[in-house]
Structure 1
């Protein structure tokens, strides 16, 4: 950084101390990734000077990254050449391929003719991806109506254990979810979701997990989610079958009524007395006999013609 004047560094340190009470935005970056830092106030930047400096997280030493005066190209500190891009004129900087040593506070200053206009601070933390996690079943105790399961959730440098109890209705975790912070600052958790035990290892930029199904070790315990789905399906199917059967019965009844109307048969009495003249010598106390016969479907009376002689008699 010999090509950046010492007085310029002193000025930036002074303005950084003036802005020490401003809010700092936390940013977490996966090791090897890039990060974009924007100025919160970007008005009239063409006529203002823009400076970015960096305060190392471990040593608390401050250094200058970029200075950008009006009408000139940005001047980048030698240690950051090739690692800083300017995708939008003066408004932001893109830091590339960050490593753990790049963790710290990045401050952007906007300077006008009368002095400092604004400052923007970011606390950048570069993290490694978390290591794989392993879920181990330590012991299983089965009975006819319950099951106890003890597991261990472990990483390279940390581990936690937990016990789960299941019966025919539900499963529970003794003491609830277990968690702790590992030596690397990540979070290690073991918890129960439905019938699955999950071991999770995570930080702000990455995570890994390992899952074990309780059914694999506790056959006494039904898969409640599957049972509920099956019960709902059976109930729905029963309703459909019932509705279909009722509809078919109604159609059958309607068809039966229609056929009964079409096949109606009428019995018409045939009076022998109408076929013979009355005998005045006969015993009037003996009524004439009536003969009934089964006829074909009735088609209605035949209309008499003019030549037909209508005979009325008293029976």
Structure 2
């Protein structure tokens, strides 16, 4: 079988090929997409190509094709937009736009069998910003809020009722579909109202705290915080009282220690009495002190009368002899 007959056989098999399982893929506008081809045993001797929307076998509707023994041939409309990866026969489409949404088919055609890989690609714009506004707040026993979640082209409203402890959403979570096909939702999470705008490739949200509009409403959680603060204050008081008692006790111990201190008092020797030679009392003093009186006799002729006498006079002390 020549090359021309092989190509004809391949194209005929392509035309007769029915649809296969399609994998949905969502891509944000401007991003890239990798088209992965399932591996087969013998690709070198097969015809491999990627096709867009399966409309015909027109060369312009093919992204790229490989004939046996040839280099890849890229469609003129995709030149500059296709990159070839390290893995052969896998391609990357760059900078996808909304017009690139559709069915992408990868085919491997041999003489005996054929393998097909299909992706349904949807290219989406990122969602627009969303805004949550509070339309009204009631002043009844319960706090009622009516809010509106809006985008550039769509909006939905919902009402919330709060008592002193809990909040609830009337009718449950509200959701809708925008004109662009994105999802718009309003729901309550942890006493916060959330407005969410999302599609398969992006999302954005706006949040409002219920406490900003219902001051009487409070989360039960602060009770635990207050309890913790009271407990902490109580522990601080106990610690301060213990420290005060410790300081007071230390001061008391110091005072008692000072009062119990014994200081040595020098003993004053009694005035010296005439020593009784006959006394054998062992308590007799071994040292005799004598009193010194000022000198009252006449001054020596050679001594200057104007000379100042010394203020202190010392007497020699003699130790009495023992009989």
Give the alignment partner of residue 13 of structure 2, picking from 11, 29, 50.
11
Q: Deviations over 1:240-288 (max 9, x none)?
A: 51563365267447636854874575xxxxxxxxxxxxxxxxxxxxxxx
Q: Choose 1 or 2 for highest CA Rg.
A: 2
- Can you give the 5+ residue segments of structure 2 that lack an aligned partner in the other structure? 1-6, 265-281, 284-323
**Does 1:245 find its partner at 2:240?**
yes
Output the CA distance in 2 between the equivalents of 1:64 and 1:41. 20
Higher share of residues assigned strand: 1
Partner residue in 2 for 1:26: 24
Q: Are the equivalent residues in 2 in contact too, given 1:197–1:211 (CA < 8 A)?
A: yes
Output the CA distance in 2 between the equivalents of 1:251 and 1:138. 63
Q: What root-mean-square deviation, in Å, do the aligned CA atoms of Structure 1 and Structure 2 show?
A: 3.3
Q: Deviations over 1:16-52 (max 9, x none)?
A: x1xx343x22110112221111123265544544221
Which residues in structure 2 correspond to 1:258-269 (within 5 Å)?
Answer: 258-259=253-254, 262=257, 265=260
- Can you give the 5+ residue segments of structure 1 that lack an aligned partner in the other structure? 266-295, 300-306, 309-315
Normalising by the residue count of structure 2, what TM-score does the alignment of the two structures yield? 0.67
Q: Are the equivalent residues in 2 in contact too, given 1:263–1:297 (CA < 8 A)?
A: no
Q: Are the equivalent residues in 2 in contact too, given 1:199–1:211 (CA < 8 A)?
A: yes
Q: Deviations over 1:117-150 (max 9, x none)?
A: x33221111112222323232221124x421111
Partner residue in 1 for 2:159: 163
**Does 1:80 find its partner at 2:75?**
no
After superposition, the Cα gap between the structure-2 partners of 1:256 and 1:210, relative to the gap in structure 1 and judged at 3 Å, is same
Q: Bigger CA drift: 105-114 or 198-207?
A: 105-114
- 1:109, CA displacement in angstroms? 2.1
**Does 1:215 find its partner at 2:214?**
no
Output the CA distance in 1 between the equivalents of 2:66 and 2:170. 60
- 1:78, CA displacement in angstroms? 2.3
After superposition, the Cα gap between the structure-2 partners of 1:142 and 1:247, relative to the gap in structure 1 and judged at 3 Å, is same
Q: Are the equivalent residues in 2 in contact too, given 1:66–1:74 (CA < 8 A)?
A: yes
Give the alignment partner of residue 143 of structure 2, picking from 132, 144, 147.
147
Give the alignment partner of residue 199 of structure 1, picking from 185, 195, 200.
195
Output the CA distance in 2 between the equivalents of 1:166 and 1:186. 30
